[in-house]
Amino acid sequence: MALLCSFGCPYTGKSDLPAKSLQSVDQQMGGRFTGEDDSGKTGHMNTASKLLELNARASRIFAALAADAQAFQAEVHSIGGAQVVDCGINTPGGLEAGKHLAELCLAGLGEVSLTPGTGNSVGVCVRTDQPVAACLASQYAGWRISQGDYFAMASGPMRAVAGKEELFDKIGHRETADTLVGVLEASQLPTPEVIAYIAESCRVSADRLLLAAAPTTNLAGCLQIAARSVETGLHKLEQLDFDLGRIVSGFGEAPLPEPVPDFVEAIGRTNDAILYHSEITLWVRGDDASLEEIAPKIPSSASPDFGRPFAEIFRNYDGDFYKIDPMLFSPAAVRLVNIETGSTFCAGEKRGE
């Protein structure tokens, strides 16, 4: 996650895009999985994954977000030819904006909902029947965008078109698409130069980009991060060289952190929600012995950095995310359910919220 802050600017609730532009989003969908990049590299994937069309699915969610942006306390802009929905940088950005952001990240292959949590907390639940495509090929914030003074962590199915991350060599799911959808975790809206960079990286014109942006410090941004409980579990398993093709479905829950203006406190709260208070269930196939062996390695408690508030950990590493043990970034508690044997393997424990 990026080091983010928000800027308090007046919100008018108006869009600077004509209605025709919003309607055109519905007409700009289309894509197909190739499973390979321009160099011919092909990842492992099954036949069904070729039909998922991540960007086309996400385009429909983007159309709903853009069409009702004012009701969601968001605002639509045209920047450098791209359509950009501000979900909390210069706008308040509400719960529905956050839900749409999270489901954009999942490329429409997962559903996000709010439920009563423990005590007075609100729980953010996510479920998916396509966990690898939804969580790793799309939701994972694996694209760090740095152009001049601009920085963002990019999620969403446009990553599958850019296809630059080594992760896609493992999981497949590279995609070509006519219109691309992405989510930027950032403290500023992208500049025209940033838009041009994203478009060039994805080999499309800027007018084919549909982007939504929010900082870590507002409600919408907090919600989309809390919806990453399953994603962190999948990524941890990928790092542990587990066969991701065995994972059938996933469900996760984490508390919705309270937004706070201070960026270090904000990333502390959002990370703590996952590291210490989240729980996921993965339904898998295959032998029990490997599940029993790997389960204790998945929770955040398996990392030597576990135990202190994340903001404190972050400060102790001089504000450098990449000095922190990567094995820390995972759910607090994990349950693996073998659908072929009926066995269940649990590891980790949630802390009180």
Going from N- to C-terminal start, the domains of the chain cover 20-109+137-225, 228-353
Confidence at 322, pLDDT banded by 50, 70, 90? confident
Alpha helices in the chain (DSSP H): 19-24, 54-67, 95-105, 131, 158-162, 167-171, 192-202, 219-226, 229-239, 263-275, 288-294, 310-316
CATH top-level class of 20-109+137-225: alpha beta
Q: Which residues, in sequence order, are CB contacts of 245 under 8 Å at separation 6+?
A: 44, 46, 132
Separation of alpha carbons 80 and 77, rounded Å: 10
The crossing angle, in degrees rounded to 10, of helices 95-105 and 54-67 is 170
Paired tokens of 21:
């532009």
Express each pLDDT in 181-221 by its tens digit: 999 999 999 999 999 999 999 999 999 999 999 999 999 99
**Which one is predicted more confidently, 215 or 36?**
215
Asked if 278 contacts 229 with a C-beta cutoff of 8 angstroms, the reply is yes
The residues that bridge with 176 in the sheet, in sequence order, are 32
- CA dist 238 to 80, 177, 188, 298, 313, Å? 36, 26, 31, 10, 24
Query: What values do phi and psi take at 332, rounded to 5?
Result: -70, -40
Any idea which of 14-23, 268-277, 335-344 has the lowest mean pLDDT? 14-23
Give the integer Cα–Cα distance in Å for 174 and 254: 29
Render 258-286 in DSSP notation, one character per residue. Answer: PP-SSHHHHHHHHHHHHHTT-EEEEEE-S
What's this model's pTM, rounded to 2 decimal places?
0.85
Q: What is the pLDDT of residues 76-93, one digit of tens each?
A: 999 999 999 999 999 999
351: left (phi over 0), alpha (psi -120 to 50) or beta: beta
Fold of 228-353: 3.30.1030
pLDDT exceeds 90 at position 26: no
- DSSP letter for 302, please: G
